[in-house]
Amino acid sequence: MQELGFSYLEELNDIQRQAVTSIDGPVMVIAGPGSGKTRVLTYRIAHIINKGVPPWEILALTFTNKAAREMKERIEKVVGSGAQRVWAGTFHSLFAKILRREAHRIGYPNDFTIYDTDDSKSVINDIIKSLNLDKKVYNNGAVRARISAAKSNLITPKAYVNNEELMAYDRMNRRPLIYQIYEKYAAKCLRAGAMDFDDLLLQMFRLLYQNPDGVREKYQRQFKYILVDEFQDTNHLQYSTIKLLVDYPESPQNICIVGDDAQSIYSFRGATIENILMFQTDYPQVNTFKLEQNYRSTQFIVDAANEVITNNKRQIQKKIWTDKDEGDKIKLIKAVTETEEGKRVSDSIVENKNRYNLRNSEIAILYRTNSQSRVFEEHLRRYNIPYRIYGGLSFYQRKEIKDLVAYMRLTVNDKDDEALKRIINYPRRSIGKTTVEKISSIADDNEMSMWEVLTKIDFGPRAKKSIIEFVKTVQSFKNKAQTLNAYELATFISRKSGIAELLKADTSPEGEARVENVNALLDGIKEFVDNDELVDGDDITDKSMSSFLQTISLMTDADQDSTDTDVVTLMSVHAAKGLEYRSVYVVGLEENLFPSYMSLASPDQIDEERRLFYVAITRAEEYLTLSFAASRYQYGQTRYNDPSRFLDEIGEGNLDSLISIQKSKPDFPQPKVLGNFKKLGSRKTPALGIDPSSFSASPAHSIKPGMTVIHLKFGQGKVNSIDERMVASIYFDGLSENQEKRIMLKYAKLQIVE
């Protein structure tokens, strides 16, 4: 019998209803693509509230602010305005919210700055320079990735240096001093009162783990129910933090995770599929519900997805089904070159728009790497089809915006060295690069912030006047911050800093655009101040500059709305997860591209590439087109790739074309292009002079340690060893760094030289 007042349950199928109403104890919801996951998650929260649980005792963790907003809006339709007091948001935003209250307990100011990627890059560059290290060896991106991975795995600088495996790996890659960079980076962030994105997670864990003044028990008591969306995307650090809130004596363990192991595609940023695969082991009493009915896609698309994913060995077994019509079979486009692929995909878009009356906004082109977009952009422009690249330059990454925001950041937190360096001589005030470097050096030597140096050290007469004026200007902003809201303060800063006047002096179209961008920022701050809705369960909204800076620092591309509504969307498959379109084109389906050549050495990475393909094809509602090119221009040469192995995994009954996709040489004349494998460094090797059309891969079983082999991408190398999984360690003398590659021989395409 339907419970009175719970009519929303009637909108659910039987398994969805069970997942919504089973609110006590650990619950795992395995949600296939298009299975109504968001509805189940939001109705579950609404149901918990309707059962008498105060909204502020519910913690719902998502991966985008947009998902959190949509969740609250849906809950509000069921339970009313109380939904706004649910703690729903991203891991980063909600952990930052808690740290704003508690950071002082672990040595950070509550008004800490959140460093973006550019800030982190700048700090690391300064450290590399101070240690006199080779920037080519200690590549900024590689160092940042190493530090990020350490934090995601709960490895502090002290633990890092004591981990022989990590240290050995760094020595092997000729970067033995990464541990020192990590130590100095952590120290500089702490001294600057700053946290990067990884720190928001790591310092939250530290806060709960160290438990100063019983803070862990405080939040354990507050959050009676915890829900985690997209659980397959969590990393070790996120799951460990959740456990600190859930696992304690007398805990009811009211944790609900929602996710799909078949859509776990973010290992490159630290996510681990182990979290969802092992959840039943961690919580043996868990109730598991599998949402297997797909409401999004037609039968042929669903069948193809099932056929592909069954090839993965480690997974939670399920079979997605749909009661929708069969629909159109999956189309397959075989092109001779990538240019032809771009043209044929664009031709197909025009044809399908006319045949099926599709809007541009109902069409998406998905690719494995962002660099593939160029050829499709060119042809869409020729056909006068409007498009949008998803994941372009963020509004908040524009220079004029970052400059003004840097003044705001320094006003809120004067220990923020990166903000200070950005604007100490902008607009120009005769404080040169040499003076700034001297200030930075004094700060490092005395473990002070650069602001403290400015206010305590006496400089020479030439710089002294400018520094005094700068300090007075920023101090005036700090004084105003005590009484003004974010919009009033931002307007004051834009005028008094000289930025507004400087930008208005440039009357070029680009200059006018920059002025418009600054005005758009001020408008956004005004909207933030005027918004009276409750924020993340707070009874009183915070209109301060500190609150606004936190809001924008945690925004992602997924939170931005496009001003162009009827455009074809071009994006990477990673960016497409969670989205859906009537018509989807998955392009570049070739070996070494999709799956990526970087995945070929590891069965686990091949499985992740297959999950990525699974995500790609399940974005389509009605029309799915797959395309590949027999040749592709890469690194100044023509490369010939076989069609992706994933195409072989789709049964012919789901395809409307019997185009041969077997692995063979291209069936068209091949130009005699010589492979010129020059070394990427100062050392030189002769060109190998290989004709790709005559290159012939040797059988994998014939390759033995000690042999010299040729690879079309890496050049000539020597096989050092082969392990029991037939993974060869090969030293390629044509590479400038990371010369030793580990390659699975089954897919390696190596030609024996001797």
Indicate which residues carry an active-site annotation.
Answer: 37-38, 229-230, 263, 619
CA atoms of 523 and 490, how far apart (whole Å): 10
Q: Residue ranges of the alpha helices (H) in 573-692?
A: 573-576, 603-617, 645-648
Bridge partners of residue 321, in order along the sequence: 293
Longest dimension (CA), the chain: 85
Helix (H) or strand (E) segment spanning residue 31: strand 27-31
Question: What phi and psi values does residue 516 have, to the nearest 5 degrees?
Answer: -60, -40
Q: Residue ranges of the alpha helices (H) in 481-632?
A: 486-496, 499-504, 509-530, 545-553, 573-576, 603-617
Cβ partners under 8 Å of residue 115, min gap 6: 123, 189, 194, 195, 196, 197, 418
Residue 447: Cβ-neighbour burial (10 angstroms; 0-12, 13-18, 19+): exposed
Closest CA to 189 of 180, 199, 177, 179: 199
The three-class DSSP label of residue 592 is strand
Helices (H) and strands (E) in the chain, counts: 29, 20
CA atoms of 253 and 173, how far apart (whole Å): 44
CA atoms of 252 and 84, how far apart (whole Å): 25
How would you list the strands of the sheet with 727-732, edge to edge?
740-744, 727-732, 715-722, 708-711, 750-752
CA torsion sign for 611, 615, 620, 624 is negative
**Residue 582 · residue 361 · CB < 8 Å:** no
Helix (H) or strand (E) segment spanning residue 474: helix 461-480
